[in-house]
Structure 1
Amino acid sequence: MADSVTSDDQKFCLKEVLDTFRLCLSENKEVYLEHYVAGWRGLVRFLNTLGSVFGFISKDAVSKIQILVSLLKGEDGSHYSTIQSMVKYELENQLVDLTKSGAHPTSGCRTLLRLHRALRWLELFLDSLRTSTEDSKTSVLCSVAYNESLAKFHSWVVRKAAGMAFCLLPGRQDFFDIMNVGTPEQVVAMLGEAVPLISEVYQITEDLYAQHNILDLP
């Protein structure tokens, strides 16, 4: 995969993702967009360590991250400090395509929704790795997580390709090695910390989008 991350300073480390998602939440449970994006950069490194298997998700995530970064650095960046402020600003200023008109394909709300859906898949997959046993098949774990999350938003062709890609996944121990944490027991312990944090960020975003009826943006 051309954009795979291989240099040591950019190698995936589960602890870094854990620390980043810990920074995501403010005291009143607002989600800082800057840290959310940083957390996703770490997750992309995780996907890239697996080569082209997850290219169809990784490349899309990278493009969405770039859009959100441009909004954060833009002239209206102050309105994108948190996911909550972003939703409020874009809805109040009619910057969200609610009618499938295609008027705002790169709105922050729509862009983040795509990452939000993928985050659910990664949350489920990482949690299944946490509770897996030595003889668990990562292809099965990943397929179950995908079918419970992202699959419903993908076409039949993409779902078929994903299913075939999952069959090429490395074994459980290889995944644990990729985490760059230590022993399997240490990996499981850190996943036990990371997954609830990712889950909380996901749920806060899910509830916010549901409250404003924007979970099905075209």
Structure 2
Amino acid sequence: MANGEDGCCLKDVLVTFQSCLNDQQEILMDPYVAGWKGLVRFLNILGTIFSFVSKDAVAKIQIMENYRSSDQKDQYSTLHSMVKYELASNLVDLKKPGDQPPSGCRTILRLHRALRWLQLFLEGLRTSSEDSSASALCTEAYNASLAKYHPWIIRKTALLSFYVLPARNTFLELMNVGTPADAVAMLEEALPSIVKVYDITEALYAQHNLLDIP
């Protein structure tokens, strides 16, 4: 497992999510994607254990960047404008992806689900005792979020890979913000931003019956 020597500080990544919301509490697409780019860098620091998330996230980030550089880029400036535009234009793949590129709604939903896993895992690290197992915390977070959306082989591979995670305090040191106590304090400050972005996305998707796009 790699260390945080390349200078990727998770605090900087999480703070990016604080800039995701405009005055109308709508999620701005560019900061959201930037936040995910940072999360991918952080996951890559931890080694190949989380590649089942990071590789998929990279593909989804590219799809959203393509939408943001297309002729319809203004329609994708916020999550709310994207949902309104794609639904009105019948672009959302509500049954299964066809020959056309995955919709922005489907793409963000995959990132949204992964964000829930990461939120639960980091929250577990923040609130657990010093002798807790990062492996157990990660497994619990995965089973409560992403597991139900993954086929059996991916679930099995992911759960096996979690066994090599280090002790909780060692993992917290990988966050490159100082001592484990410093990392806990950082998470306490920064995690509410991810929670807020997640909750707004969840409510928007629920409102439009988009939470189960295949």
Give the match for residue 147 of structure 1.
143
Cα drift, residue 186 of structure 1: 1.6
Contact 1:34 1:81 in 2 (8 A): yes
C-alpha distance in 2 between matches for 1:171 and 1:111: 33
Cα drift, residue 69 of structure 1: 0.7
- AA matched with 1:97: D
Task: Give structure 2 stretches of 5+ with no counterpart.
Answer: none
C-alpha distance in 2 between matches for 1:7 and 1:41: 18
- Normalised TM-score (structure 1): 0.93
User: Does residue 1:33 correspond to 2:58, yes or no?
Assistant: no
Cα drift, residue 151 of structure 1: 0.4
CA separation of 1:135 and 1:101: change in aligned 2, threshold 3 A: closer
Cα drift, residue 104 of structure 1: 4.1
Deviations 1:140-187 (A, max 9, x none): 000000000000101111111111010011222222222111122221
C-alpha distance in 2 between matches for 1:45 and 1:210: 30
Contact 2:16 2:35 in 1 (8 A): yes
Give the match for residue 56 of structure 1.
52
Contact 2:4 2:175 in 1 (8 A): no
C-alpha distance in 2 between matches for 1:98 and 1:176: 39
1:74-153 to 2 correspondences below 5 Å: 74-100=70-96, 102-153=98-149
C-alpha distance in 1 between matches for 2:13 and 2:136: 24
- AA matched with 1:184: P
- AA matched with 1:24: C
Give the match for residue 176 of structure 1.
172
Which of 131-140 and 121-130 deviates more? 131-140
Cα drift, residue 216 of structure 1: 0.7
Task: Give structure 1 stretches of 5+ with no counterpart.
Answer: none
- Normalised TM-score (structure 2): 0.94
Q: 2:67 aligns with which of 68, 71, 74?
A: 71
CA separation of 1:56 and 1:178: change in aligned 2, threshold 3 A: same
Which of 74-83 and 92-101 deviates more? 92-101
Give the secondary structure class of the aligned counterpart of 2:164: coil
Deviations 1:180-204 (A, max 9, x none): 1112222111101221110110010
C-alpha distance in 2 between matches for 1:80 and 1:5: 36
Contact 2:134 2:167 in 1 (8 A): yes
Could you say what the CA RMSD is over the residues aligned between the two structures, in angstroms? Answer: 1.8
